[in-house]
Amino acid sequence: MAAKKVLVTEKVADAGLEALRDRGLEVDVRLDMTPEELIATIPDYDALVIRSATKVSRDVIEAAEKLRVIGRAGVVVDSVDLDAATERGIIVCNAPTSNLVSAAEHTMALMLACARNIAQANASMHEGKWERNRFVGTELYEKTLAIFGLGRIGGLVAERAKAFGMKLIGYDPYCSPGRAEQLGVTLYDDVEAILPLADFVTVHLPKTKETIGMFGPDQFARMKDGVILINTARAGIYNVDSLADFLAAGKIGAVGLDVFQDEPCAESPLHEFENAILTPHLSASTVEAQRRAGVQTAEYVAAGLDGSIVPTALNMAPLPPEVMDAVGPYVPACQMMGSILAQMDGEIPQYLKLTAAGSLSTVDLSILVAGTLKGLLSYKRVAMVTPVNAESMAKRHGIKVETLSHADAEGYASAVSIVADGTEIACTLADEAHGARLVSLLGYKLDIAPAGQSLVFEYEDAPGRVGVIGTILGEQGINITTMQICTKPDEQRALVYVNVEGAVDDTVLAELREGVSGLANLWYIRL
């Protein structure tokens, strides 16, 4: 099977590229592509890795005949048409934790630069001047810092500011009192009440209708004289025109900005002020953050191509970490069972029931349904299924899906069973390292780990049948690696699951069908 191909259109850390290649993927790096070149090139690729400059429009997505995953080596994914990607079942993922530390540190850097006039003093020194009295600054120690947004980055800023001896107050309607207390932040539920208290303000908020323009003339007027404002999050949270007016009037002592409405930004109302410290979106621009972004994106892209869970997929419902830990290892197991069912039954099932038991009984099973459908439909080559489009693919092919949960896994810690139009299969997973083991097939109880190719026999139970199977396979040079024999005494039936090595062709199958008496069914399974 040919290696899956990944197109990388922007500079990504070498560690990320190597991580993709280590997964057996073919990686092509093509930088500075025009939109027309991308549309012409994308049909050959299974995955696309970008940063912020590449625009993945609907035209690009519609041209992408094989594309299954788009990975953004970074946080913000506003250059991808998410609706178009979702319609095509393409997973869009990012690396949201890659730059957390870098962004928090850049926030502190801007805060210190504004407080101690670092940029202005540096420029003066380069002009050959020595102006100590001109650049008298202020300490962070015992100053009050207002943090708007106490998510991951806001929390890291709180930890660092606390180490400087700052007094921390904050506003975040989604932050629990317990988390605020843990961070040492006094939480306020009113923006207007917090504004007059702060010596420094930093924002770590998403870009929404509520946050754009959140700070304008009314809010600036309520702040302390000489307040220092920082923004490394999203452009537009501060009204820049109004900010420039208050900066000129001296109400605002200094501002440190890393994000701008239109980037690259060569001019703005703030460019004329020396106490406006402006950086060109550098918060994620560290060696460490770039490396993490590349490696994390590589891991998620490879997972998406394997049909596994992509924890940062933006166009599917997010799964909490505890749910991912529980169901994640079962995704490839369900894909395997779906593939086995597809090979045992020549028709696409009209009814599919998935039952989770034991420790899986309380989690969302949609990702396991997606894995099963991927095994069923992808093997038959009628559709490429991803967690993004699994539900729509089931409806398109007329498959009614039902999920059930049971606390009792019949002696196992967890198990998943699938019934497709009456054909039943079940597996358990002791741990991820040992892989899935089939524990039931067609109602027969067994315990075997399927190999790359297997033969499954169902026949009328009688002495000597296994010997005949072994003889025929041996004469054909086919080695039996493991075997499981199961019976249904009440029906005088037996099932034999045989993992084999060697070429199993139509001649061998014909000889087995002729030589094994009482044979009801014989399936050749390839995984």
Q: What is the DSSP letter of 490?
A: G
Distance CA 508, CA 487 (A): 25
Distance CA 452, CA 331 (A): 18
Among 507, 503, 504, 485, which Cα is nearest to 494's? Answer: 485
> Tokens representing 466?
């296994």
Q: How many residues in the chain?
A: 527
204 is an active site residue: no
CA angle 224, 228, 232 (to 5 degrees): 135
Cβ-proximal residues to 185 (8 Å cutoff; 6+ apart), any chain: 147, 150, 158, 168, 169, 170
Cβ-proximal residues to 199 (8 Å cutoff; 6+ apart), any chain: 138, 143, 144, 145, 224, 226, 227, 228
Query: In which residue are the tokens 């460019």 written?
Result: 271
- Residues 263, 288, 491, 514: which is the catalytic one? 263
* Contact between residue 334 and residue 358 where contact means Cβ atoms under 8 Å apart: no
Residue 278 phi/psi, 5-degree rounding, is -115, 130
Q: Return the CA Rg of the chain.
A: 30
406 is an active site residue: no
Distance CA 437, CA 446 (A): 9
- Residues 152, 179, 281, 291: which is the catalytic one? 281
Distance CA 485, CA 138 (A): 80
- Residues 68, 234, 292, 465: which is the catalytic one? 234
Strands 5-8 and 167-171: unpaired
Q: Measured between alpha carbons, how far is residue 121 from residues 127, 135, 230 in Å?
A: 10, 6, 19
CA angle 64, 395, 309 (to 5 degrees): 60
Cβ-proximal residues to 450 (8 Å cutoff; 6+ apart), any chain: 336, 340, 436, 438, 497, 499, 525, 527
* Contact between residue 390 and residue 369 where contact means Cβ atoms under 8 Å apart: yes
Residue 99 phi/psi, 5-degree rounding, is -110, 15
10 is an active site residue: no
Catalytic residues: 234, 263, 281
